[in-house]
Amino acid sequence: MSEQTLAEQIAAVRRKRRQDAAVVYREILLKGTLSVGDEEAVSGAMETLGRSTKDFQSDAELVRRVVQWSELAGQVEALEEDARRKRAALRDAQGQYEQALAGLRAEWEPKLAQLQQGLSQIQSRATEAGQARSDLAMLRARWEKIVAGE
């Protein structure tokens, strides 16, 4: 057997041991507490991975965050699809809103114009009536002069 092949085999065995140790350590970290019998497994896994007991809490937090972020990352496609559906629904609703608004404008603008015209006529008549009231005393006085023969 060549030295390179033996070195490759040793490296492969080390990788496998580290991967197996990582699986054990990860499972224990996810539990958050050590059960009876876990001490030996976790001790061996930590030694294989080069971790110490002072690393346990930060490793546990790291693994929890990796799991949380993995779950969130797995939701990206579903969330993007949901966002696409919501955007399409929003565009449809905006189109319907614009159509309804255009319909209301078409219906109400003539009514508003008619009301505005009526208001203008009333204001014009009110101005005329106000002028007549202010002129009334003068006109009555002139009439009375005619009646009195002056």
Instruction: Determine the pLDDT at residue 52.
Output: 87
* Res 1: pLDDT: 58
Residues 28-34 have a mean pLDDT of 79
pLDDT of residue 39: 81
Q: Which of 76, 25, 81 lies closest to 53 in space, CA to CA?
A: 25
CA angle 32, 40, 45 (to 5 degrees): 70
- Tens-place pLDDT, residues 97-107: 999 999 999 99
Q: How far apart are CA 133 and CA 52, in angstroms?
A: 104
Range 111-138 burial, b when 16+ CB lie within 10 A, else e: eeeeeeeeeeeeeeeeeeeeeeeeeeee
Helix (H, G, I), strand (E, B) or coil at 109: helix
What is the SS3 assignment for 36? coil
Q: How far apart are CA 22 and CA 69, in angstroms?
A: 19
pTM, rounded to two decimals: 0.46
Q: Is the pLDDT of residue 114 over 80?
A: yes
CA distance 48 to 114: 89
The stretch 6-20 carries a mean pLDDT of 90
Percent of the chain at pLDDT > 90 equals 46
**Res. 56 pLDDT band, cuts 50 70 90:** confident
Q: Quick: pLDDT tens for 64-89.
A: 999 999 888 889 989 999 999 999 99
DSSP alpha helices (H): ranges in 32-75?
38-49, 56-74
